[in-house]
Structure 1
Amino acid sequence: MTTEALLAYAHLLAILTMTVFLASEAALCRAEWFNAAVVERLARVDMIYGASAIAVLATGLARTWWGAKGTAWYWSQPLLHAKVTLFVVIGLMSIVPTVRYLRWRKALRANGTLPDEAEIRSTRRLVMVQAHLLALIPLAAVFLARGVGTR
C-alpha cells in the first residue's frame, strides 16, 4: 500500500513538473517578448522539461512493475497503450523545439542574432500542440483508473 502511494506520488510530481515547464515554454516562446535572455531561458526550461518527461516515463514504468495491479494487467489495457502513444507523440514533437532552442542559443552566442518572428511562431505552435495533446493523457488515465474500457 505504501509503495503504491509513493509510486503514484512520484509519478504525479513528475507529471506536474513536466506540465509546468511545458507551459513555461509556451509562455516564453512569443515573438513580441523575445530577447537574448529568453533564448537562454528557453534552452534551460526545455532541458528541465526533457528531464521531467524522462521522470514521467520512469515513474510510470515503475508503477506498472511494482504497482498493485502488476505488469500483466497494465500492459493488457488499451488505455495504457493510448497514454503511452500520446506520450511518445508528444516526445517526438518536442524534438523540433529543442533543436531550435539550441540552434538559437548557439547563434546568439556566436553573433548575437535572434530568430525571426515566423520561426518563433511556428515553434510556439508546436509547443501548444504538445500542451493540448498532453491534456488528453489524464483523460485516459482517469478512465483506466476507474475500469472504463479495461479488460
Structure 2
Amino acid sequence: MLMHWFLAAVHLLAFAVAFAAVLNRGTALRRVITEGAGIRRVLLADNGWGLAAAALLITGLLRAFAGYEKGTDYYLQQPLFHLKMTLFMIILLLEVVPMVTLIRWRIALGRGTSIDTGRATLFARISHLQALLIVLMVVAASGMARGVVLNQL
C-alpha cells in the first residue's frame, strides 16, 4: 500500500514540477529575446522540465502497467487514459526541436561560443502550449481516477 501511495504522490508532484518548469522555461525564453540575457535560467528550467517529464513517464508506466493501481485492462479500456497519453505524445513531439536546440546551446555555452537565439520566441510559445497540455492531462487524469466514462457525460 505504501508503494501505491508513494507512486501516486510522486506522479502528482511531477505534474506540478513539469508545469512550473515548462512555464518558467517559456518565460525565460521570452526574456532572452527582450533582455538578451538569461540563457542559464532557460537551461535550468529545461533541466527541471526534463526531470519532471522522466518522473511522469516512469511513475505513470509503473502505475498503469506494473500492478500498482487499477490494472492494465482498466487503463487500456479507459478513453481518458488514451486522451492523457495522446496529450503526452503531443507534448513529446513538440519537445523534439526545442530539446535538440537547447542541447546545442549547452554545448555552445560549454565551448564559449555564441548561441543562436533566433527561435527563442517560437520555443517560448511551444513551452507555454506544453504547459496548457499538462493542465489538460491533469484534468483527464482526475476524471480517470474517479472512473469517469466519457459516454456517460
Shorter-normalised TM range:
0.7 to 0.9
Aligned length: 148
The TM-score normalised by the length of structure 1 is: 0.84
Inter-partner Cα distance in structure 2 for 1:53 and 1:127:
13
TM-score by length of 2: 0.83
Secondary structure at 1:135 match in 2: helix
Give per-residue Cα distances to partners, 1:21-62, cap 9 Å, x unaligned: 112101211111332xx2233223313311220110110111
Gaps of 5+ in 2: none
RMSD: 2.2
Quick check: 128-137 or 1-10, which moved more? 1-10
Q: Name the CA shift for 1:102/1:7 in 2 (closer, same or farther; >3 Å).
A: closer
Aligned to 1:48: 48
In structure 2, C-alpha distance between the alignment counterparts of 1:134 and 1:67, rounded to whole Å:
23
- How many Å separate the matches in 2 of 1:125 and 1:68? 35
1:1-22, Cα deviation, whole Å (9 max, x unpaired) = 4332222111112222222211
% identity of equivalent residues: 34
The gaps in structure 1 that reach 5 residues or longer are: none
Q: Deviations over 1:106-142 (max 9, x none)?
A: 44555653435x5221111111111111111111112
Alignment match of 1:32 (pick from 31, 34, 43): 34
For the pair 1:145 / 2:153, whether they are aligned, the reply is no
